[in-house]
Amino acid sequence: MKNCNKMILSYIPIIVVLGALGTVDCLECYSCSGVSSVNSCISTTQCRTGQSCYANSFTSGQDTKFTMGCTNNDQCGIQSGIVGRDVSERETSCHECCSTARCNNQLCIHFKPTTCMDDVKVDCAYLNAMFNICKDIQHSKNVCPKFCGLCTLVDGNWAEWSQWSGCDVTCEKGLQTRKRTCTNPPPAHNGLDCVGNKTDTKTCLLQPCPIHGGWTGWENWGACSVTCDVGIQRRVRNCTNPYPSRFGDHCFGDPLEDKICVQGPCANGGWSTWGAWTSCSVTCDGGLRSRLRKCTNPVPSLHGQYCIGEVSEVEDCNKQECVIVFLAHGVTDTTPRSGQDLVFPTVLFNEGGAYSSSTGKFTAPFNGSYSFSINICHTNGQHIYLKFMVESRVYSIVEFYDGYSDVCKSTDIDAYLRKGERVWITCIGGSATITSESQNARTFFSGALTHT
C-alpha cells in the first residue's frame, strides 16, 4: 500500500458528522457490484484524489443488492445534518459515503427511516415533555416515531410522469401535457403530500393552420329583371371573409339568391275584330249562326286585365219557310239507251226551283231528308231497268215490267241529301218503250223536302 497523507475524518459508525470531511489521497475502498451483503465483499480498489468510499443499495425483485466502490466527493450529499446520506432516496434505496480506508462495508446496513424505532440516543419522553416534539410530525417521525405513534405514517412520493399527450391543436402553436400522481406511495396517516406540480406542459408547434373561407354579408337586391308583370331579383355574396387558403374549405352554400318581383301589368287585353259568321244551323224555317272574337289585340299580360264583354255573338238565320217540291212528266226520249239519263221536260210545279227540266236533275238546296217518286208507263210484254243516282253513286236500281197490258209502275225512294248534291234517273238496259202520256197513264218524276 502506498504511503498517503490523510486528513483524519472523525468517524462514527454509519453517521459522519458535518464539517469533518476533508481531502483524502489514495483512499482504499471495498469494490463489488450487486452483492447480497456488504460484508460479503472482499475485493478493494484505490480511489483517485477527490474521491471517497461509497455504498449503494437497490431492490432487485424481492432482494436487496449492494454496489460498493469509489465515487467523486461531489456525489456525497449533505442532507439534514448528516454527511454522506442521500435522505430523499432512503425510502427506496441508499447512497452513503465515508472517507476512511475500507469504511464502506459498514454503510447502508442500518435501519431505514420507515423502521418504527426511536433513536436510542434520544429521550423521547423528555423531549415531548419539554418541547412537545410529537406535535412536530415531520421531525418526530425521524427521531421518535414509535413513541409518537407514527409507525404507520407514509410520506407521499411521485409516480413516474405519464407519456406526453398529443398536441391539443391540429395546426400552429399548442400545448402538450403530461401528468403524475402522488401514488408511489400515496401519503397516509398524516404523511407529507408530494411537493411539486401534478401537471407539466410544453409547447408544440405544428404546420400553419388552413384558412377556411367565410361568406361576406349579402349585397343589396338588384333591379327586377322586367319593368312590368313578374320578374326575378338577385343578390350575391362572396367567399372572401376570409378567402380560403392553405387548403382550407371553400364556403358552403349558394353565392346567389333569387326572389320573385311583381311590377305593374305590361298590357290589358283588347278584342280582335269579329270573325265571320258560321253557317246557319238549318237551311230554312229559322236557325242560328254565330261568330267569335278573341282577346288578342293585345293579349293580356300575366297581370293584365282580360277583355270585358262576350267572346261570341249569336243571331237568327234562314227564317224563310222550307218548301221544296217539284213534279215533272213526260220524257224527251221514249226508247232510252243504256247509260242515257231520263229527262222529264214538262214541269207542273217546281217550288224552290231545285229541278232542271233541261237536264232532268234535281239539286238539293238545303241539307235534309227528301222523298222522291218515279212513275214509268211502258208497253206490255217488255221491261226496262232504271237506276236512281245521287251524285256519282247508285242509290237504287228499279225494274219496270208487265207481261199483259200497258201498265204504269211506280216506286218511292227516300234519301238524305247535303246541300248541292244532285239526283237523277239513268237507264241501264231493257227493250220497253215508254208510252206517250194519256189521262190515265202518265210518266213522271217528283220530289219534296220532308225534313231539315
Task: List domains and CATH numbers for the chain.
Answer: 16-98 (2.10.60), 213-264 (2.20.100.10), 270-320 (2.20.100.10), 325-451 (2.60.120.40)
What integer pLDDT is reported at residue 304 of this predicted model? 86
Question: Cβ(400)–Cβ(386) under 8 Å?
Answer: yes
Question: Cβ(324)–Cβ(352) under 8 Å?
Answer: yes
What integer pLDDT is reported at residue 221 of this predicted model? 95
Instruction: Give tens-digit pLDDT for 331-371.
Output: 998 888 899 999 999 999 999 899 999 999 999 988 889 99
Q: Which of 357, 279, 354, 348 is nearest to 323 (CA)?
A: 354
DSSP 54: E
Q: How far apart are the C-alpha atoms of 353 and 228, rounded to whole Å? A: 63
- Alpha helix locations (H) across 79-203? 124-131, 137-143
Residue 2 clears pLDDT 80, i.e. is over it: no
CB neighbour list of residue 43: distance below 8 Å, 6 or more residues apart: 30, 31, 32
3-state helix, strand, coil in the chain (%, to 5): 5, 35, 60
CA 400 from chain center: how many Å? 92
What integer pLDDT is reported at residue 1 of this predicted model? 39
**What's the whole-model pTM score?**
0.36
CB neighbour list of residue 438: distance below 8 Å, 6 or more residues apart: none
Per-residue confidence band for 233, with pLDDT thresholds at 50, 70 and 90:
very high
**Nearest-5° Cα angle at 381, 380 to 385:** 90
Surface-to-core class of residue 43, CB atoms within 10 Å of its CB (0-12 exposed, 13-18 middle, 19+ buried)? exposed
Instruction: Give tens-digit pLDDT for 149-197.
Output: 888 888 889 999 999 999 999 899 999 999 999 999 999 888 889 999 9
**How many Cβ atoms from other residues are within 10 Å of residue 437's Cβ?**
15
Instruction: Give tens-digit pLDDT for 365-386.
Output: 888 899 999 988 877 667 788 9
Instruction: Give tens-digit pLDDT for 239-251.
Output: 999 999 988 899 9
Q: How many helices (H) and strands (E) does the chain have?
A: 2, 24
For the chain, give the number of residues. Answer: 452
When pLDDT is averaged across residues 225-231 and rounded to a whole number, the result is: 90
Q: List phi, psi (to 5°) of 446.
A: -135, 160
Instruction: Give tens-digit pLDDT for 20-61.
Output: 344 445 789 999 998 988 888 999 999 998 889 999 888 777
